[in-house]
Structure 1
Amino acid sequence: MAQLLTPQRGHWYKRSDLDTIFEVVALDDDEGTIEVQYFGGEIEEFDINSWQLLELSQAAPPEDWSGALEVDDYTRGDDLDLAPGSLDDVLNIIDSNDY
């Protein structure tokens, strides 16, 4: 039976059926959709009903969270004092135009 987890942007989950992890990258409350990106780079969108049917567990982010994003050292913040720790950190930096 699937464990009901509330999707949260920036959080990582494991799909038991695919034995893979993904990060929630966008939530659209108006449309009722959840957009996820698998570590390999693939993007998938679920409606809330489909999300609830998934066999999910919480997962730790991968050690190299950038995965297929091809983030270079400058983008990661290595040359800056930002040092984001997840894709959500990067998105928050971009959203705030504080880069």
Structure 2
Amino acid sequence: MGQTIHPERGQWYKRLDLDASFEVVAIDRDEQCIEIQYYSGEIEEIDQASWEQLELTPIAPPDNWSGAFGTDNRVELEDQADSLESVLSFMDANNI
């Protein structure tokens, strides 16, 4: 095992064992768990100990990172996509 990579909300990572990209969408420090969403849209909750065992590398967000949201409003989202927070706010405001 190499150096532990600390989870950061909004950061994309690549799991080397699965060759899969995901984003950290939530961190619960009290429960010591990390919620991730793979590019495919699948959501997984990982406890801190399991996170530390993963072989990860930080990556840049995919070109079409809104694909994970499975929405037909991609063009509209991408127009609004100056940050993840702005997209999430847009989605909340439009009940997406």
Query: What is the alpha-carbon root mean square deviation over aligned residues?
Result: 2.1
SS in 1 for 2:10: coil
Output one character per residue of 1:60-90: Cα deviation in whole Å (capped at 9) or x when no partner.
110001123133033x163xxxx22454442
Moved over 6 A (4+): none
Select the structure with the greater relative contact order (CA < 8 A; seq sep ≥ 6).
1
- Cα distance in 1, alignment partners of residues 60 and 78 from structure 2: 21
Q: Which residue of structure 2 aligns with residue 55 of structure 1?
A: 55
SS in 1 for 2:65: coil
Higher helix share goes to which structure?
2
**Structure 2 alignment gaps of length 5 or more:** none
Q: Secondary structure at 1:63's aligned position in 2?
A: coil
What SS does structure 2 have at the residue aligned with 1:66?
helix
Identity of aligned residues (%): 53
3-state DSSP of counterpart to 1:50: helix
C-alpha separation between the residues in 2 aligned to 1:61 and 1:77?
13
User: Contact 2:66/2:78 (CA < 8 Å) preserved in 1?
Assistant: no
1:1-99, aligned counterparts within 5 Å? 1-71=1-71, 72=73, 73-74=75-76, 76=77, 78=79, 83-91=80-88, 93=89
State TM-score, norm by structure 2.
0.80
Q: How many residues align?
A: 90
